[in-house]
Amino acid sequence: MLSPILPITTPPQTSSSSSTMAPSSAMAATMFIRSDENSDDYYVPLNRLSVSSLENEHSHKLDIKPLLPRSNSYNSINTRKGSKFLKSWRRRNSGDNSPESDRRSDVQSLSNEVAEAAVDTYRVTRLVFTLLRYLGVGYRWVIKFLALGCYAFLLFPGFVQVGYYYFFSHQIRRGVVYGDEPRNRLDLYLPKDTNGPKPVVAFVTGGAWIIGYKAWGSLLGQQLSERDIIVACIDYRNFPQGTMSDMVKDASQGISFICNNIAEYGGDPNRIFLMGQSAGAHIAACALLDQAIKESSGERTSWSVSQLKAYFGLSGGYNLINLVDYFHSKGLYRSLFLSIMEGELSLRRFSPEVMLQDPNIRSAASLLPPIVLFHGTADYSIPCDASTTFADTLQRAGVNAESILYEGKTHTDLFLQDPMRGGSDEMFDDLVRRIHAGDAEALAKHAAAPPRRRLVPEFMLKLARRVSPF
């Protein structure tokens, strides 16, 4: 629904030098701006302004075309952040090299960063309240919410460090536009070493299909970029902004952008890996299988499954028919889950494991890249059987697939606690070795790299593991 037209009135200007000035110049002018109040974007572009004189019955319309339309901004990074290098270049060419000018530029840059941090904080807070609104305030969710608060408090030292890196690192390109929807953004984590094209991981974050956000992948992005791997964290519409088909569409668009444009950011288009975690693993798997089905039927698409070297699923669920009752017992109630998945009849369509058992899509299965599924045996958010049974189904369909289980690891151990612990991490090492497979120099560099820095004291990690609601 469009918001009402808002008048913005400019006071009349008077001139003593001429009494015959044109009415449109002498009289007050009113601009009417129409915007979409349902827009979830950080800004609303003004594509048309209507300017009318208070004493002129004729209305003049002025078309204003954006310098770079949102739908055509695939080849650019987020320009709202600005470029410190570009500002310095402009100052040098204008002859303004004074320290005062540098200080003004630094203050402006810091102001922009703080503003973006505030916007992202607002978005995260709103996602949390959205989740609570849909889950209700029953006894079970009051307990879970308190547990979540304790869990976040115990990991807070790590979150602060990761958040500072996310907002202020020059190695991150935040908010790169890949589509027309407000949530069609992705973050790029770039290695410091820019020599030669780098392998790329297109990452779809989790969030129970309700609170997924691209910033959730910042810890993984930071640590993989330190191993000379580019990470692209794809944002997508969540429920109730969209349902499952919208999430799959957004993820597919993000993958398309990466496949077709990552070379401009130093990525190797021949070494692109798709990865997802939790709900993101499910969304990415659905997007991958949907793409394979389209290609097998001869449909023209903007990207190809053959452009992906492999798919990595971390703690994902791939058979929703088997999981719907389990999720209900854990608090993701059946009515809510079916609303996200567009009804009970759609559960099969959004269950890659079930879809692959259909003989009619065996030709699509032959197009799938190698698939590796990582899962912890102590995961009670999504049981590890979800990965092992999916791997078995893939193998029966002729796909090169395997599942790797990590004894005693929970849903959050592999993605949060272990990376924050620093040092050696079995899952992280397995992931890096598979991405750099065939690159002896990169593997040797990884083996000789210093241990990852600890972000949270051990006793706090152990307490967080005990109170985790996931």
Active site residues: 278, 379, 411
- The single-letter code of the amino acid at 51 is V
Q: For Cα atoms 306, 310, 316, give the angle at the middle one, nearest 5 degrees.
A: 125
Position of tokens 């002129």?
56
Q: Which helix (H) or strand (E) holds 252?
A: helix 244-261
Contact 357, 289 (CB under 8 A): no
Label residues 2-39 b or e (16+ Cβ within 10 Å = b).
eeeeeeeeeeeeeeeeeeeeeeeebbebebeebbeeee
Asked if 224 and 191 touch (Cβ cutoff 8 Å), the reply is: no
CB atoms within 10 A of CB 194: 11
Q: Would you state the structure tokens that stand for residue 445, as one six-digit string?
A: 């560099």
Cβ within 8 Å of residue 179, ≥6 positions away: 71, 250, 253, 254, 257
Helix (H, G, I), strand (E, B) or coil at 113: helix
CB 115 within 8 A of CB 108: no
Q: Please give the order of strands across the beta sheet that includes 48-53.
A: 6-10, 29-33, 48-53, 59-63
The pair of structure tokens assigned to 3 is 């918001």
CA 88 to chain centre: 31
